[in-house]
Amino acid sequence: MTVGRIYLTTPIYYVNAAPHVGHAYTTVNADAIARWHRLMGDEVMFLTGTDHHGLKIQRAAEAAGESPQVWSDRNSQAFEDANVLLNISNDDFIRTSEPRHYESVAWLLQRVKDNGFIRKGTYEGLYCVGCEAYYEPSDLIEVNGEPNCCPIHKRPVEFVVEDNYFFELSAFEDKLLAWLDANPDAVTPVSKRNEVLGFIKSGLRDFSISRSSISWGIPLPWDPEHVTYVWFDALTNYATAVGLGRDQERFDHWWPTVHHMVGKDILRFHCVYWPAMLMAAGLLPPQQINVHGFLLIGGEKLSKTGFAQIYPQDLADEFGVDAVRYHLLREVPLGADGEFSHEGVVARYNSDLANNYGNLVARTATVVEKKCGGVGPAPRADSPLAAVAAEVLADVSAAWLEPLPAKALEATWRLIRETNAYLEQNAPWKADPGPEVDAVMGDALEALRIVTVLTAPAMPTICQDVWERLGLPGQVLDQRVPAAAMWGGYPGGLTVTKGTPLFPRK
Ligand code: ME8
């Protein structure tokens, strides 16, 4: 079920604060999906990065007494560090302050202008600096008696009047609807697709793409007094990284396969503005946009400006990197909002990792050591676990491609649970060494091998460790599914090592 080639992206994050688990949620999910595709043998390009322009960044730099370039490039490092910490396998990291991006943005703007979709006008509007977006009065809410607050940042918006260039989004209503109609999977999940359809059908307004009042941004090629404002700049990063306007061959290679993963806060920009901008330039809209919900703390969106903050490093110190990755993938399935809590991490760690996967590894290795002389027996072709493993492989493969990592892991854990139950039923630890015990342990080792291949995109380091404990050679991530996850791959005769507990109980 290989897709052949896929170009995966995360949003580029604003550099005005340190990365928190909200960012890690998106990046780890995209990373695991990228790793699954590599495991399938697909050609993968995986991009993440940081967003450097805009008023928010300019103001933060000014407050620190630094140039926005220096300030934003330094802060971007925190995101690269978080990627290293979380073992993110990105092939590129883009900063919108880079020369390659200036070149690609200028190319796109000029192309859209030449095609007649950019015009000059005056803009009056209510602007949220936090979102870097204009709001309609009807979108605004009252917060603690303060009217006209942004529904996301809960702070008053600003009234702005200026000469701007506009992108003629209104010209794309029919084309966007036709695109969504022809591509039912272009926006997932379906609830978010419906939101996009509703937004387009309610009527699209042209949006401002430039500002003359600030300097920190990319100058318009035909009017350098203006800088490109935020979304035309930020969204283009995805095209920059594969050579838009600079390397046509590379762009043509990757662009038709692009899949964006984004939070629901930036759904409109990715599912409406961006496809229209691409169409205006005569380019293909994204192949797929996967929109997820928010991690919440006590019902509130976890954000860098609010009080509710949890940093990946603190969790990694306590639970280990792979357990943090597992939690981010498993606890809140992509799509809906979900609570993130310390108690939740402990509970899932204990149930799924310590009591299930960790326990299966420990008890299997212990019995092989005690009853099979430390050498793993081969599995039986007609093991009752073989049928379960086949079903699990089909479910897991389908779920990763939806893409729903939480569902894929849930399906994988079925094989873990059924193998633990099979061991309990047969209780090889009570039996005398012999063919019966060997048969049961061969089956358990094989199930464990399959589970370990299927879990490797989620927990690459732990799974490599288990792979080696099972005596298997090479790298688990160099295996190729589906072949490597089919029953019968464990050869028997390998030395099995018990090692220290993988997931000590919390
Ligand atoms: O919007 N739960 O950057 P940003 C889940 N630069 N995901 C969360 C989250 C939470 N509580 N908090 C943040 C921007 N995220 C722009 C994007 S893209 C061309 C430009 C994740 O730093 C989620 O992916 O505000 C969300 O969409 C993104 O971080 C917003 O990051």
DSSP secondary structure of 124-188: EEEEETTTTEEE-GGG-EEETTEEEE-TTT-SB-EEEEEEEEEE-GGGGHHHHHHHHHH-TTSEE
Considering the domain architecture, whether residues 308 and 368 belong to the same structural domain is answered as no
Considering the domain architecture, whether residues 380 and 291 belong to the same structural domain is answered as no
Q: What is the CATH classification number for the domain harbouring 81?
A: 3.40.50.620
- Going from the Cα of 304 to the center of ligand 1, the distance in angstroms, rounded, reads 10
Return per-residue pLDDT of the chain as tens, 506 residues: 567 999 999 999 999 878 999 999 999 999 999 999 999 999 999 999 999 998 888 888 989 999 999 999 999 999 999 999 999 999 999 999 999 999 999 999 999 999 999 999 887 889 888 887 778 888 899 999 999 999 888 999 999 887 889 999 999 999 999 999 999 999 999 999 999 999 999 999 999 899 887 788 999 999 999 999 778 999 999 999 999 999 999 999 999 999 999 999 999 999 999 999 999 999 999 999 999 999 998 777 776 555 556 788 989 999 999 999 999 999 999 999 999 999 999 999 999 999 999 999 999 999 999 999 999 999 999 999 999 999 999 999 999 999 999 999 999 999 999 999 999 999 999 999 999 999 999 999 999 999 999 999 999 999 999 999 999 999 999 999 999 999 999 999 999 999 999 999 99
Ligand 1 closest atom vs CA 261 = 24
Q: Is 162 contained in some domain?
A: yes
Considering the domain architecture, whether residues 81 and 34 belong to the same structural domain is answered as yes
Which of 133, 336, 125 minimizes the C-alpha distance to 231?
Answer: 133
446 burial type by CB count under 10 A (0-12 exposed, 13-18 middle, 19+ buried) = buried
Considering the domain architecture, whether residues 287 and 359 belong to the same structural domain is answered as no
Residue 300 Cα distances to 14, 20, 297, angstroms: 20, 14, 5
Considering the domain architecture, whether residues 10 and 45 belong to the same structural domain is answered as yes
CA distance 366 to 369: 5
User: Dihedrals φ, ψ of 291, to 5°?
Assistant: -105, 130
Q: Is 179 contained in some domain?
A: yes
304 labelled catalytic: yes
> Which residue among 13, 25, 104, 152 has the greatest number of ligand 1 atoms within 8 angstroms of its CB, and so is best to mutate?
13
Which of 329, 291, 352, 368 minimizes the C-alpha distance to 460?
Answer: 329
CA distance 461 to 425: 31
> Which residue among 8, 26, 52, 278 has the greatest number of ligand 1 atoms within 8 angstroms of its CB, and so is best to mutate?
26
- Going from the Cα of 263 to the center of ligand 1, the distance in angstroms, rounded, reads 6
271 labelled catalytic: no
* Overall number of domains in the chain: 2
Considering the domain architecture, whether residues 171 and 65 belong to the same structural domain is answered as yes
- Going from the Cα of 18 to the center of ligand 1, the distance in angstroms, rounded, reads 12
Pairing verdict, β 338-339 and 43-51: unpaired
Q: Is 138 contained in some domain?
A: yes
Q: Is 98 contained in some domain?
A: yes
Q: Which residues line ligand 1 (CB under 6 A)?
A: 11-14, 22-23, 25-26, 51, 234-235, 237, 262-263, 265-266, 294-295, 301-303
Q: Which of 37, 149, 150, 259 is catalytic?
A: 150
Considering the domain architecture, whether residues 404 and 265 belong to the same structural domain is answered as no
CA distance 75 to 204: 35
Q: Is 330 contained in some domain?
A: no
Ligand 1 closest atom vs CA 234 = 19
What does pTM read for this prediction? 0.93
Q: What is the CATH classification number for the domain harbouring 476?
A: 1.10.730.10
362 near 466, Cβ under 8 Å? no
* Angle between the N-to-C axes of helices 435-455 and 384-401, in degrees from 0 to 180, rounded to the nearest 10: 0
Q: Which of 175, 253, 264, 304 is catalytic?
A: 304
Q: Is 332 contained in some domain?
A: no
- Going from the Cα of 79 to the center of ligand 1, the distance in angstroms, rounded, reads 13
Q: Is 488 contained in some domain?
A: yes
Considering the domain architecture, whether residues 138 and 167 belong to the same structural domain is answered as yes
- Going from the Cα of 483 to the center of ligand 1, the distance in angstroms, rounded, reads 37
Query: Residue 46: beta bridge partners?
Result: 8
Domain limits at 152?
Answer: 5-325
